[in-house]
Structure 1
Amino acid sequence: MILEVNTPAFLFSTISLLMSAYAGRFSKISKIIRKLSVDIHNSNLVERHYLKEQISLFSKRIIYIRRLQLSGISSLFCSSLSMFFLLFERINFANIFFVLAIIFFLLCLLICLIEIYYSIRALELNLEL
């Protein structure tokens, strides 16, 4: 496999876009959780149960978004190390870190799918009410 310095750089733009989108989601979901936590105190028993379920789903989404960000950062880090080793013509190390970058990126996409599942579940719960 021939690896050039610009090959690992392809992951930069994709990971940057993912990180930006999920940082925004993280912020919005955090605000929603805070609002729902306040709303619980002013609600009846049925509404309280619904709000607790929503908070639970949003909390799971926050956990998956943090994991997504961690795997994205790991992918970016390994991609950077791969380019670093390519500059010093350490091809074996460059290949190892490029493979790790791709694995972390795939993990990032898998976590993204799981987070989307919980997002859909939260919407379904909202429609049930």
Structure 2
Amino acid sequence: MNLSIETPALLFSATSLILLAYTNRFLTIAQIVRGLKKNYDENRNKSILDEIKNLNLRLTLIRAMQMFGVLSLFLSVFAMLLLYLQQTVFGIYIFGLSLLCLLISLGISFWEISISVTALRVHLKDLIEETKNKD
């Protein structure tokens, strides 16, 4: 098996963009939670509380996505260092671990997106039913 030092470097741009997207999702959801919390404090509506619980789960998943994404990037750099130091076998295994972490991060991302889509469909269901009743 041969692995050049450039191969782990290929993950840098992709992982950086993924981490930026994860951070943007985190910040957006955190802002929504703050608004909903304020709304809940004023109205004590159970549906708002359920929505906050859903968003809290999504925030937890995004943090896990970020953690595995950062770990993937860290392991890629470590693999490059090992390859630079002529430790090819260890470098290959560490790079493989880096790819596994990236795969886990993307899998959690898929899970979080599916939760998001389900929550949006619940909101749209009311609108669709209202539209059907008007027709």
What is the TM-score with the length of structure 1 in the denominator? Answer: 0.92
* Structure of greater Rg: 2
Residues 1-129 of structure 1 aligned to structure 2 (within 5 Å): 1-43=1-43, 48-129=45-126
> SS of the residue aligned with 1:112?
helix
Q: Counterparts of 2:97 and 2:8 in 1: how far apart (Å)? A: 11
> SS of the residue aligned with 1:41?
helix
Higher relative contact order (CA 8 A, sep 6+): 1
> SS of the residue aligned with 2:86?
coil
Count of residue pairs brought into register by the alignment:
126
What is the TM-score with the length of structure 2 in the denominator? Answer: 0.88
> SS of the residue aligned with 1:2?
coil
Which range moves more in the overlay, 119-128 or 5-14?
119-128
Structure 2 gaps, min length 5: 127-135
Matched residue, 2:133 = none
Amino acid across the alignment from 2:22: Y
